[in-house]
A = this chain, B = another copy of it.
Amino acid sequence: MGARHGIRGILDNRFINLGDQPAEVLNVLGNTPGAALGSTREKPDKRTCKRLVRNLQAEGVEAFFYIGGNDTSATLNGMAQAAKGAENPPLFVHVPKTIDNDLVKNDHTPGYPSAALYVASAFAGLNYDQKSLPGIHIAVVMGRHAGFLTAAAAAFRRLEDDGPHLVLVPELRLDTKIMLARIKVCVEKYGRCLIAVSEGIRDQNGDLLADGDYLDPHGNVQLSGSGALADKLAAMVQRELGVKRVRGDTLGYMQRSFLGCVSAVDKKEAREIGQFAFTHAMGKQENFSAIIERIGNRSRFATAGLADIGGKTRYLPKDFFDENAMQPSQSCLKWLAPLLGDPPELLDLT
């Protein structure tokens, strides 16, 4: 049984019998962007958590699997708290899925490899576009707190002069003066500069560079779904460096939904971790979060405590980013490579 739009469906009694769906349908759903059951942005309070638990019990639910990232695991945590002392509460199981890759305890999370492949492919294309027609190009990547997606912008760099020439992640406290100086040097050296910048980029005071005049239902400043940050940075570069041809792009919602851009590893693991979570839940009493660990280049599924994941944020490890070069480190790119699959064959005229 699946709930439409997560906890919203549990509150509204909108369920769907997933057992009725033929295997063929589920296979095609695996290639269809978006969450087939629907998503939600609601953060339930304590009272709502209690209601959610009651509704699940009324439906005779023995185990509740909730798929998502930070907010999802926090919701699940709240529900688990609300269920304490209840008679025969359901088992609460978190199944990870977030393109941000910012769940602690996980090596990587389903959704991230495919979104990272989009970002890597976009920047490989922007790099060659810029080789054809030089200029300064700033492209904004998703990731409010963690720089994993933005780091993927550099995954397909091959030559020393390949872009992105600067990769600006949210973990970096950006000194815009240094950024401008680096852009200037890059343009002098290569005649062009391609910059990958995270939507969550912060200045030296820790303040978001993006202006937020609108809060989402979680009380967060809206970052995605607007081109404002790219335009602001492009205008800054135009003004401060006196360069005319500066372009700003925002990779936008295509990063998480572009049809056909799917990492083979991601597709396989996304299905397998669901099966793992289901199998592992059989006969268990203790709530858990399924996680992905890595042994060498191979993934392994394991479990962690719900409370160890919920509401916590994993940042880009220190050794994954070279602050001086303003680039992801070699160990970051080495970590990323098996998630993206074979690198593309690209060439320049010599």
Interface of A with B (CB < 8 Å)? 2, 16, 18, 21, 25, 28-29, 31-41, 120-122, 124-126, 128-133, 137, 139, 156, 214, 224-228, 230-231, 234, 244, 246-254, 256-261, 344-349
Given the contacts A227-B250, A259-B124, A346 and B129 also touching, CB distance less than 8 Å: no
B137 A253 Cβ-Cβ under 8 A: yes
Q: Top 5 nearest A-B pairs by Cβ distance?
A: A227-B227, A225-B247, A34-B128, A125-B257, A249-B252
**Partner of A132 from B39, B251, B258 at Cβ < 8 Å:** B39
A25, A126, A128, A132 interface centre (most CB from chain B within 10 Å): A132
The reply to whether A32 and B260 form a contact with Cβ atoms under 8 Å apart is no
Query: Which residue of chain B is the closest to A156 with respect to CB atoms?
Result: B259
Q: A41-B133, A228-B227 are in contact. Are A344 and B31 (CB under 8 A)?
A: yes
**How far is the CB of A125 from the nearest CB of chain B, in Å?**
3
Q: Output the least CB separation between A238 and chain B (Å).
A: 8
Known: A259-B122, A259-B156. A34 touches B132 (CB 8 A): yes
**Known contacts A227-B226, A254-B249; is A347 also within 8 Å of B124 by CB?**
no
| CB atoms of A349 and B247 under 8 A apart | no
Q: Is the CB of A254 within 8 A of B122?
A: yes
B residues within 8 A CB of A256? 129
CB distance from A20 to the nearest CB of B (A): 9
Selected from B37, B125, B252, the residue in CB contact (under 8 A) with A349 is: B37
When distances are taken between beta carbons in the complex, the residues of chain B under 8 Å from A260 are: 121, 261, 344
CA of A227 to CA of B139 in the docked complex: distance in angstroms? 11
A244 to B217, CA, bound (A): 10
